[in-house]
Amino acid sequence: MLGIWTSCGTKAESYSHTTQTSIEVDTLQTPTDTIDRSSLLGVHKYVLSQTCTYSGCHDGHFEPDFRTVQSSYSTLVYQPILKNNAKEEFQYRVIPFDTARSVLYERITNCCFVNQDDRMPQSTIGEPLAQKDIDAVGQWIMEGAKDIFGESSKAPEENLQ
């Protein structure tokens, strides 16, 4: 039996509570993660941080730096490359809306960028990323390589105008 008291200290009503409520939750149908795989957050969470941040790789020792979402973005989009292919075809690591000119996409899809078996990630030499991961990176690039705010960067030459 519980009593409810008014602010002046008098008992307003009494009631007893014996009902128990149970809620069943079907965990198989309850989404546990709502991050879009092809967003910057998704690409970082499911691809870059899982396959590229091993010790001595893209863990802050050299660029691109995939330790955080922000460091990933700021060292990828319109950032000059350090290692090019023999034909010198690439200028930037990621060019929004263009997988063909983005060296990141080339490195995860081409087995022989410069040398035999130099496809990324190097932790699994000779084995490509899962197709769903390649697709997520490609979709992120083709949809504008947007930052965490949903904005696409302008090309460096556009920032000068």
Question: 65 Cβ partners below 8 Å, 6+ apart?
Answer: 58, 59, 71, 72, 75
Residue 13: DSSP 8-state = E
In a domain, 24, yes or no: no
Task: Look at phi and psi of residue 9 and say left if phi exceeds 0, alpha if psi is from -120 to 50, else beta.
Answer: left
Residue 22 lies in a domain: no
The pLDDT score that the predictor gives to residue 125 is 64
Answer whether residue 71 is part of any domain.
yes
- Residue 151 within a domain: no
The Cα 19–Cα 57 span in angstroms is 58
- Domains of the chain: total: 1
**Of 94, 98, 68, which Cα lies nearest the Cα of 81?**
94
Domain containing 74 equals: 40-145
84, part of any domain: yes
25 domain residue, yes or no? no
Report yes or no on 12 lying in a domain: no
Q: Which CA distances in Å does 46 have to 22, 38, 68?
A: 35, 9, 12
Q: Is 14 contained in some domain?
A: no
| pLDDT tens for the chain, residues 1 to 161 | 444 444 444 444 444 445 555 555 454 554 567 899 999 999 999 988 877 666 666 666 677 887 889 989 999 999 999 888 888 999 999 999 999 999 999 988 887 776 766 767 666 666 788 999 999 999 999 999 999 999 999 888 876 55
pLDDT reported for residue 42 = 92
Cβ(47)–Cβ(75) below 8 Å: no
